[in-house]
Amino acid sequence: MSRSSTGGKIFSGAIIVLSLLLAAILLLHRFIPNRWFNLGSLIETFLPWFGLAVPVLLLLAAIRRKPVAIVCAIVPGLVWFQMYAGLIPDKRSGEGDFRVVAHNVNADNADTAGTAATLLAAEPDVIVLVELTEDQRYAWSELLDGQYEYSVSYGTVALWSTHPVLDSYEVDLDLGWARAFRAAVDIDGEPVAFYVAHLLSVRVNTEGFTSAQRNETALLLGEALADEELERVVLAGDLNGTSQDRALAPITYQLHSAQADAGKGFGFTWPADTPMARIDQVLYRGMEATGSEVLDATASDHRPVMADFSFS
C-alpha cells in the first residue's frame, strides 16, 4: 500500500470522526459536563456558530470523494438544521397590544441622547434599561419623563412606561445592591408583571467560563418568577447568557423567548459591533408574542432588543 493511499485513508477517517463529533456536540450538548471550566455552558453560549464547521467538513469530504465521509459530513448539517432552522424565517405578525424595548446602555456610555433617540424611534410603551449609573439615570429621566409618565428604578436597573405602574419591589439577588426588580404595569386594564434584571457577568479566562455567581443570581430570579401570581409576565434585561445555557434553565424553563417565537434569525446582541450571542433577552408567558427585533447599535457595547405582545 502506498504512502499516499495510507494518508488518504487517515484523512478520510479524520473527516468522519470530526463530523460525528460535531453532530454529537450539537445533539448532546446538555450532557457535556460543567465540571471542567464550565465547558458545557461555554459551548452552549456559542452553539449556533458550530454550524460553520459543516461546510468545511463537506468541502473536505468532497475533495476526498469518499461517499462515507460525505454522508458523515452531512449528518451534523442535518442536526444543526433541525435545531435552528425554525429561527431563520420571519415570524413577525404585527405590533400587538404593547411594545417593550430593553437595553444594556453600558455604564461608560456618554451618548445618552443618541442612545435614547434610537430607542424612542421604535415607539415603545415600556422601556427597560440596565447598567445605569446614577448620573445616567438623571440624564435618562430628563429625556424620558416628558413622554413616559410612570417610572421605576432600583440600583442600576430602571423602567419607564406610558401605562400606570401599580406597584414595584426589588428582587433580591443576594448581591448587596439592586440589579433586579418586579413592577406590575396596568396595560389597558390588563395587569402585567414586568421583571427587569441584569444578572452578573461571566468571564472567559484561564479558569475557563467563570459563571458561578451569575448562575446563583439566575436561580434566585427563577424562584421569584415561580412565585409570581399574575398570569402575564415579561422578563427583560441583560441575562449574561443565551437561552440555551443550562445555567439559565431556572428562568428559561418557565418563559418563552420573544425572538424565537416571533422574530427573524438568531437576534444576536453582543458585542454590538460584531454580535455573536443573544444575551439581552425579552422573555414572556401568558400572552402572544407578535414581533421581535434587534435595533440598531448605539454607543453601548450591547444592542437594544424590541418585542411586541398581544393579549389575545
Over the stretch 62-88, which tens digit does the pLDDT of each residue have? 998 889 999 999 999 999 999 999 999
Q: Is residue 93 part of a domain?
A: no
Its domain, for residue 291, covers: 98-310
Q: What is the dihedral of CA 81, 259, 270, 194, to 10 degrees?
A: -150
- Tally of domains in the chain: 2
83 and 120 together in one domain: no
Mean pLDDT for the stretch of residues 12-19? 94
145 and 223 together in one domain: yes
Instruction: Give the C-alpha distances (Å, rounded to integers) separating 45 from 135, 189, 211, 212.
Output: 33, 38, 12, 15
Asked whether the predicted pLDDT for residue 208 surpasses 60, the reply is no
Residue written as cell 421583571?
A: 195
Q: What is the 3-class SS of 118-169, one letter each residue?
A: HHHCCCCCEEEEECCCHHHHHHHHHHHCCCCCEEEEECCEEEEECCCEEEEE
Domain CATH for 164: 3.60.10.10
31 and 170 together in one domain: no
68 and 115 together in one domain: no
167 and 20 together in one domain: no
The pLDDT of residue 11:
82
| Measured distance CA(292)–CA(257) in Å, rounded | 9
The pLDDT of residue 1:
47
74 and 134 together in one domain: no
How many Cβ atoms are within 10 Å of 230's Cβ, its own excluded? Answer: 14
125 and 55 together in one domain: no
36 and 169 together in one domain: no
Instruction: Give the C-alpha distances (Å, rounded to integers) separating 84 from 34, 144, 157, 216, 305.
Output: 23, 38, 32, 28, 20
Percent of the chain topping pLDDT 70? 95
Q: Is residue 239 part of a domain?
A: yes
Residue 170, phi then psi, degrees to nearest 5: -70, 140
Q: What is the pLDDT of residues 101-150, one digit of tens each?
A: 999 999 999 999 999 999 999 999 999 999 999 999 999 999 999 999 99
pTM > 0.85:
yes
Residues 302 and 267 sit within 8 Å (Cβ to Cβ): no
Domain final position from 32, 59, 87: 87
Q: Is residue 304 part of a domain?
A: yes
Residue written as cell 414595584?
A: 168
83 and 127 together in one domain: no
Domain final position from 19, 53, 87: 87
Domain final position from 87, 109, 128: 87
DSSP 305: E
**Cell triple for 52:** 460553520
Q: Is residue 92 part of a domain?
A: no
The pLDDT of residue 123:
98
Mean pLDDT for the stretch of residues 261-266? 98
| Measured distance CA(311)–CA(150) in Å, rounded | 21
**Exposure string over 140-164, b if 16+ CB within 10 A, otherwise e:** beebbeeebebbbbbbbbbbbbbbe
